[in-house]
Each structure stands twice: as structure tokens, then as C-alpha cells.
Structure 1
Amino acid sequence: MIANPAEEIVEIVDRDNTPIGAVTRRIMRQQRLIHRASYILVFNRQGELFIQKRTLTKDVYPGYWDLAAGGVVLAGESYLMSAVRELREELGVSGVKLKLLFDQYFEDENNRVWGRIFSCINDGPFTLQTEEIDHGRFIPLSAIEALNTSEPVTPDGMALLRRLPQ
């Protein structure tokens, strides 16, 4: 992992999710370029979702609750490689079976991203990456909409939540 995330080289894609180049994360954010990201929904055996409170230093959605571990796909990485790497970096989880759920395009004023959503089952304990996650907890899926009315949840996470069977 690069010491300065802004200097990571990120895969850039078009609206059809076709790779068209690679730039630093800083340029990707400055120019609002479409990029790829992996999202891993981590459920416990009771079916609750592990959510993470993003640090205030994150480059997008700082301080929001995140429904998924994951992050940008680096140049030369597949979605699966990114998911495995991000799960290990952010939660200290490795060796779990990842289930592919779906792909989704999401766009708002801060973010334009093609995401590949995976899920896995893991009860923890987790080793949280302190640079990215303040804390986390398991929550029933049915409680996330209510949480979002009192504390912000990442909008791309809310979009994928609405595609999950409840």
C-alpha cells in the first residue's frame, strides 16, 4: 500500500465500464473521473451487516457510515483482487469466500464509480485500519434506513442496500 493514498494509481473507465487509462487518485477526485471500486458486505452468521464509521480524513464521504469494506481498484487490479486486498487492509480478514452479488454504477456530485459488490460471512474479531475506519459494529439490514436519518450513510452504500433482498 502506498503511504499517501492520493498518489495511488487508479483504473479509469468510461460509462460502459471499459478501461480508458490510469491516473493518481488525486487527479481522479479532482476531475471527477469514473473509476472502479470493490465493495464487500461483511455479514455475521446472524445475518447482520458490519458497518464502519469512516475517518474524517477520507477523501470522499468523511465521517459517514460505510456499509461495505472496499475501495478503489488500482491500475492492473481486477475487482476480485481489489476486494481481497481491501478486506485484508481494512478489517484484517483473509481467506474468506467472497460471493459476487452484482455490479452497479453510482454517480453524485462527489463520486462517479462502477462498483462490484461482493459479500462474505465473518463474525470477527476485526483489526480495523485506523487511517480509514474510526470504529464499526454489526447492525440488522432493517435498521440501516433509520440510521441514515440520524447519521449520514454513504450514498453509494445506500444505493446498493436498496438492491439487496431484505
Structure 2
Amino acid sequence: MDSADEEMVEVLDDDGAVIDTVSRREMRERNLRHRSVLVAVVNDADEILVHKRASWKDVWPDRWDVAVGGVVDPGEAWEAAAAREMVEETGAVAELGYLGEDRYDDDEVRVLARIYHARTPGPFSFDDGEIVDAVWVPITQLRDWLADKPACPDSLALVLPRLDSP
């Protein structure tokens, strides 16, 4: 069993209140609602960093994603989680802009997410192995670029509309 499987995760009710704490494995197995952060990373040319997730990821492996991010730790502040995920996944530190909060529910994931924006050209390092490939895509061409690629549905649903009207 992976140590990530045993990480603790807060379970939320439909109003976003914490009602329990369970292992990440249990959260995934039962598809329990939890807190998550998404960070859209863009550069000064209005390109977005799109990355491919590793094959070992516990949800949506080998898919392209338009945001870095992940599960918020128990008791962790939202913005602290976004900054932590940004550093863990990209090695970069950047000022975060808040883009909003929303829910995403499907057969694999149920999240209450806060969405952020980070403007930085890098440099990036993908040392934790969660990202196996990354490219800059002009935001105006993003939907066309993604059209024939498997992508993470949560970030598409929650991030793309906010890129259209930041």
C-alpha cells in the first residue's frame, strides 16, 4: 500500500462542513466529497502550463491537466494548500490570485474546490514525479489543443470558464 493511501482527508457534507476524517484510500473507494485546490499556471504570453499526469496517480492517470493542485490536508488553509501543491508539483513559487470556489461531482471524484491563478514563467522542476510532461499552450487555443486528448474533467469544468473571464 502506498503511503499516500494512508494520508488523512477531511470528508465534507453537502454544505462544505467537515463531518469526518478518513484515509485517502477510503475517500477514493467511497468517492467522498473533500476539499481540493486547483492552480492554473500562466505566463506573460497568456499561455497556460498544461501537464500530463503520471500513470501511478490514484485518479485520472495519464491524462492532461490544465491545473496543478490536489487534496487539502486536514486543517490546512486553502491558499496554503494551493501554494504547497504548486511547489510540490512544479518546484515554483508564485503569487496566487483567487478565482473562486465551486463543486465538481462525477463517478470518480466529489470535490469542493478553490481555484487559483499563478503567473510565472518558471523555471519548473517536476521532481516529485506527478507530472511526466508539460507544455505551454496559448489560452486562446487551449480547447482546440485538448480536443483529441484525454483530460481531467474536474479542472476542465472548474478552470476553463474562469480563464475566459478572469
Structure 1 stretch displaced more, 15-24 or 110-119: 15-24
Give the corresponding residue for 1:61. 60
Extract unaligned runs of 5+ from structure 1: none
Q: State TM-score, norm by structure 2.
A: 0.93
* CA offsets 1:14-50 (integer angstroms, 9 cap, x no match): 1111111211110000011000101111110111110
Give the corresponding residue for 1:35. 34
Query: Which segments of structure 1 move beyond 4 Å, counting only runs of 4 or more?
Result: none
Is the 2:40–2:116 Cα contact (8 Å) retained in structure 1?
yes
2:149 to 148, 151, 155: 151
* CA offsets 1:87-113 (integer angstroms, 9 cap, x no match): 11000012x211000001001111001
Give the corresponding residue for 1:51. 50
TM alignment of 1:76-87, pairs within 5 A: 76-87=75-86
Structure 1 position 130, deviation (Å):
4.3
Percentage identity across aligned positions? 37
Give the root-mean-square deviation of aligned CA atoms: 1.4
Task: Please state whether the residue corresponding to 1:28 is helix, strand or coil.
Answer: helix
Q: Residue type matched to 2:31 in 1?
A: R
TM alignment of 1:69-80, pairs within 5 A: 69-80=68-79
Number of corresponding residues: 163
Extract unaligned runs of 5+ from structure 2: none
CA distance in 2, matches of 1:88, 1:97: 12
